Structure 1
């Protein structure tokens, strides 16, 4: 049973921050501009560019980025899955408690209905007796 969610570690906070940044259109647009600028510059300069075609340095940077961001994304998803599991368990416990409260209220209402019906029957018996007495008093 989950007692509470442990505070996030530095690694978890870093993974969440990385996925927050990488998972945006801003990041994708900036990365696209950098790649286009990188390749455009090196194509225009030709063999004198700092990373001529086939852009080995660019491929190395992108491989590093993928190598480090993929585990960060997986760590963040794992932690968020744990949080979701914890929240689902809390919701389940709340639902069970609500069900128990509803059953208890049904029982109370059932007992009250039984008491009310008994009281009504007693009143009907008394009223019937009074009616019989009134009938007997009339000529």
Structure 2
């Protein structure tokens, strides 16, 4: 298990990367993210429902309604709002997709480094065992694991299997 200091350092590094990503966005983009986030909350649903109810009450109870039944102006306002809110959500989603893609690339790089390190350790273990004339497992798997992993071949195999499905 990793020491707590290392874990905290890694968490802080990840949070710093995310803060840097957020700071690099233009102001309008950051505002659209905040709006996109707010749209997905119950507070927004409550505010939206209250807005519609107040609109309806003002137009049903009033002697001189500004938007009489069937409330065409309300329909236009809500349609206009839907277009903008959808755009805000899509902008936020696109940014989240880019962040996810960067994280996936980072994960892949870390996994490849870990694979290389594990292979190096296994090679060293085999060398030490050979030096001291120690017989390792006879199943052959440890020798196979001590070989460099052909990432490009694995990727090609994966692509060909995906095409078959």
Q: With structure 2 as the length reference, what TM-score do the two structures score?
A: 0.64
Structure number with larger C-alpha Rg: 1
Any conservation in 2 of the 1:42–1:51 contact (CA below 8 Å)?
A: yes
How large is the Cα RMSD of the aligned pairs? Answer: 1.8
Render the CA deviation track for 1:46-100: whole Å, top value 9, x for unaligned. 5x11211111221121122112111121111111100000001000000000000
1:45 Cα deviation after fit: 2.1
Q: What is the correspondence of 1:121-136 to structure 2 with a 5 Å cutoff?
A: none
Kindly report which structure 2 residues correspond to 1:1-139, keeping only aligned pairs within 5 A, or say none. 7-45=24-62, 48-117=64-133
How many Å separate the matches in 2 of 1:17 and 1:102? 43
Following the alignment from structure 1 to structure 2, what is the Cα–Cα distance between the partners of residues 99 and 90? 14
Distance 1:27 1:5, change over 3 A: closer
Question: Partners of 2:93 and 2:59 in 1: how far apart?
Answer: 37
> Runs of 4+ in structure 1 displaced over 6 angstroms?
none
What is the aligned length? 114
Can you give the 5+ residue segments of structure 1 that lack an aligned partner in the other structure?
119-139
Higher relative contact order (CA 8 A, sep 6+): 1
TM-score by length of 1: 0.75
